[in-house]
Amino acid sequence: MDVVTRWNSSLDMLERYLEQQQAIAATLLSAEVRRNAREIDTLEPADITDAEDMVRLLSPLKKATTVLCDESRPTVSLIVPLKHMIEQSMAQCDEDSSTIAQMKRAILKDFTDRYQGEQNKFLQESTALDPGSGACTS
């Protein structure tokens, strides 16, 4: 199970399931599995749609994590732009299922109290002063 603030393993699991969905369905329908199983639960089409939507929802979080884990350059100046990107990707849409809307609210709630006050000011200054961030112009 994921740590509360890390969604990458859940994303990886969902991506792998969706990638292998046909093979999983074929296996669950095989005579051998059916003979040895009392009851087989499968996902409904709405569940598959939710899984696909979750992959789209969680992908920006994985991207941010990957960027921040890059040790080849300083990352403090990337926090504000990445936080902004995540907040934008979590904006509510009319097309969101109730599951996705609930996940977006939970993720945004988690982000609400992060990097406030002086800490936020420092991060914004770091972003503005980093020549690699694109915030500075020559």
Q: What is the pLDDT along the chain (138 residues), one digit of tens a residue?
A: 445 556 788 899 999 999 999 999 888 888 877 777 777 777 888 999 999 999 999 999 888 888 888 767 667 888 888 888 888 999 999 999 999 999 999 988 888 777 788 888 888 888 888 876 555 444
Question: What pLDDT does residue 66 have?
Answer: 83
pTM exceeding the 0.85 threshold for the entire prediction: no
Contact criterion met (CB below 8 Å) for 7 and 62: yes
Contact criterion met (CB below 8 Å) for 129 and 77: yes
